[in-house]
Amino acid sequence: MSVIVLLFFSVILQINGQYPSFPDCQAGVLSSFPICNQSLTSRERAADLINRMTVLEKISQMITTAEGVPRLGLPKYEWWSEALHGLAYSPGVFFGGDLPAASSFPMPINLGATFNMRLIHQIASIISTEARAFNNEGRAGLTFFTPNINIFRDPRWGRGQETPGEDPFLTSQYVYALIQGLQRGDDERYLKIAANCKHFDAYDLENWNGTDRHHFNAIVSDQDLVETYLPPFKSCIQDAQVASIMCSYNSINGIPACAHQFLLETIARESFHLNGFVVSDCNAISDILHTHHYTSTPEQTVAVALRAGTDLECGVFYLFHMNDALHRKLINETDINQALMRTYDVLIRLGWFDPPEQQVYRQLNKNNVDTGEARQLSLVSAQESIVLLKNINGSLPLDFNQLTNKRIALIGPTADATIQMQGIYHGRAPFLVDPLGGFKNITAGKPIGVDYARGCGISSHSERDFAAAVRLAQSSDIVIFFGGIDHTIERESVDRQSIALPDIQLSLIQELEKVTRSPLHVVIMSGSSLDLSYIRDSVGCASLIWMGYPGQSGGLAVASVVFGQYNPAGRLPVTFYPASYVNEVSMFNMQLRPSANSPGRTYKFYTGKAIYEFGYGLSYTTFNYTWDNRTFISAYSIQSVMKQINRQEKTIISSIRINVTNTGSMNGDDVVLAYVTPPNVSSEQIAPFKQLFGFERVHLKVNETKEVCFTFTVETALLVARNASKWLHSGSYRIIIGQQHIGVIQLQGQTIRWV
């Protein structure tokens, strides 16, 4: 659902005063029913409540804006709240009164760039705390349609910024840490909030070349599904035990996702053990009939969606047509009861029916929102996400001692970015520090001037402001260009046609290069990759920073990096492709591996030369890796491994220990990335060129050394065949730490089919 629609719903609901409330299990009608008996299991409690409803009352509970059942003392409930990177505008979230704002953290694409899962957990914990505080004040629900964990397979996708990046392993680690922080807290009896992993599955197209997400049929091979598109959902559902998932708009191999029984029942529930409910994306049930033409009547549509496992609808199709489907015996009341059992079981696990005095989370209030800890974390997370891409001759950081009585010019369309720094699915932030404000904050009280000129718009064609920007550059000692893109170019419902830096910005950069007293510094804001080859290669550009969409403290974070108050260590969570990439592969092509129609996707399979590779990022200091060659035992027997591990994928084959030393002159973080290059199985089946299997972010003082350990597991070694079967192959597995070839793990014996 678009942000505009979200804002509309939020405003309407606030005007109408439709704030959530709690059932009264102490003195209300419900108090004498088993739903209020905490000695019963959650399913027993839910079953009794459901059995007391009439059919029409049951149906009214199967849409996200669920009406109450007054005769039972059941209040209305809005299932749709948002909290992608902080509480966000949505039908269930209202800002105002004692809670005018909530912490706005960097977008998930930034959080992926931190490669810091402890940080992700901390952020999620604060978001869930603020969510509970809002809920207790009647300003949010308890069920949040977050996170988006689809793989960012194509740089044109408008919603890639909502994800942590292109790699299944990184995304899987991210979602586990995030769900733990969102759902688990100080009271193990209750879910803190209920999260929702979306969009299940293979959803990563908005509107491209005349086909939108409502009509798109994603043709996905079993190999790509198992190897790339499913792993984050497995981590979310099976490992993190998320409370719900959302089925997507698109069809998958001809079957709409919300009618896809194999995906929802066989995979999500039977294989991954989903303990919760499935909700449709908004109006996706209607799409089954009207855009995918998978069914012929509304009643058939209800039946295929409900029996596939879609329990709750974002929309009203169920409300209007479910009773007719029941009368025509396409479904039965047991199907309805099963769906309601899953949704109400989650509400019970959230403590919605239990007395507030016995719940830690019900005591949270406005004092737990926008705390000092949250403000500090918003800054730290933005700093950790910033990626230094170029730094010729150590031109950064700027030295205060050399800037006395100097003037710094900030020029460009994102130098004064505020709300744009929040990306999409944002809420009302307590404050927004733009880059200009950040620079003025850091230079306050110092004899350094900071001036600003816009120069041009994000993607306009007008050069009318060039002259003022050029004059400012001529009179300044340091010039920093702030450019990139924003939600006018990439957002929900909008995919890009071009991944080049907008022409107007490139023209302005070239004009500035002609007049600056020293080489230009460039800072790029975006939630996806851009062809930055000109800036990378130009001698007129001394440095290049990617800031992503860094949230409420983004401007201060960037300034702190430029002035060396923070040593950057972010790493790109996506591949930065050349602009020509969009002409080489269709967005409709879901295949990851290279073919006659594609140069391949993501760092694992891209055959071209990237502008900047996944995992790339510089620091103001230097690091050295050393290791003991004895870490690598030359060979392991596959048969011996099989005997020891009893077919457990996560069983360790080998441990890899690396010593990391800060050999430079500044304290800083290093992100240590561990890749494996598997053996070539056959010329017909292309194995990943390399794939991430471990990462660790470590802080090191000057001359300090720390040991980082990675485990090489069976799961790391398994290769997925074309038919989606997994194999443990014999052969050499090359281990690469960062860009360094560390060693080889040799598996010997007969290749074994795992599953």
Does residue 286 lie within any of the structural domains? yes
- CB proximity list for 39: less than 8 A, separation 6 or greater: none
- The answer on 541 and 456 residing in a single domain is yes
Q: What pLDDT, in 10s, does the model give residues 190-219?
A: 999 999 999 999 999 999 999 999 999 999
**Segment 47-60 mean pLDDT:** 98
Q: Are residues 288 and 379 in the same domain?
A: no
Taking residue 712's Cβ as centre, other Cβ atoms within 10 Å add up to 21
Dist. CA 76–CA 61, nearest whole Å: 9
Q: Is residue 224 part of a domain?
A: yes
> Based on the domain organization, do 585 and 684 belong to the same domain?
no
Q: Tell whether 588 and 697 lie within a shared domain.
A: no
Q: Note the pLDDT of residue 638.
A: 84
**Which has the closest alpha carbon to 84: 206, 207, 198?**
198
In a domain? residue 614: no
Predicted pLDDT of residue 636: 83
Domain of 652, CATH number, reads 2.60.40.10
Do 255 and 341 share a domain, yes or no?
yes
Same structural domain, 491 and 389:
yes
Note the pLDDT tens digit of each residue in 522-565. 999 999 999 999 999 999 999 999 999 999 999 999 999 999 99
Q: Is 273 exposed, middle or buried (0-12, 13-18, 19+ CB in 10 A)?
A: exposed
Q: Can you tell me the distance from the alpha carbon of 673 to that of 495, in angstroms, rounded to the nearest whole number?
A: 30
- Measured in degrees and rounded to the nearest 5, phi and psi for residue 370 equal 55, 50
CATH number of domain containing 235: 3.20.20.300
Specify the CATH number for the domain of residue 548.
Answer: 3.40.50.1700
Residue 289 clears pLDDT 60, i.e. is over it: yes
Longest dimension (CA), the chain: 82
pLDDT at 492 over 60: yes
Are 185 and 243 within one domain? yes
Structure tokens at 146: 């977050």
**Catalytic positions:** 281
Number of structural domains, the chain?
3
pLDDT of residue 18: 44
Cis before 232? omega within 30: no
- pLDDT tops 50 at residue 187: yes
Check residue 388 and give its pLDDT. 98
User: End-to-end alpha-carbon separation of the chain, Å?
Assistant: 38
30: how many CB neighbours lie within 10 A of its CB? 21
> Among 598, 602, 604, which Cα is nearest to 583's?
598
CA dihedral 624→630→636→642, nearest 10 degrees, is -80
From the number of C-beta atoms within 10 Å of its C-beta (0-12, 13-18, 19+), residue 613 rates as: middle
Q: Is residue 31 part of a domain?
A: no
For residues 635 and 130, the model is more confident at: 130
Same domain, 601 and 665: no
- Of 345, 365, 385, the position where a domain reaches its end is 365
Residues 327 and 425 in one domain: no
Cis amide bond preceding 214, omega within 30 = no
Average confidence (pLDDT) over 510-531: 98
Query: Domain of 561?
Result: 374-605
The answer to whether residues 152 and 279 belong to one domain is yes
Rounded CA-CA distance 368/432 in Å is 20
Whether 72 is covered by a domain: the verdict is no
Same domain, 354 and 441: no
Do 158 and 221 reside in the same domain of the chain? yes
Residue type for 88, please? A
In angstroms, the CA 331 to CA 309 distance is: 12
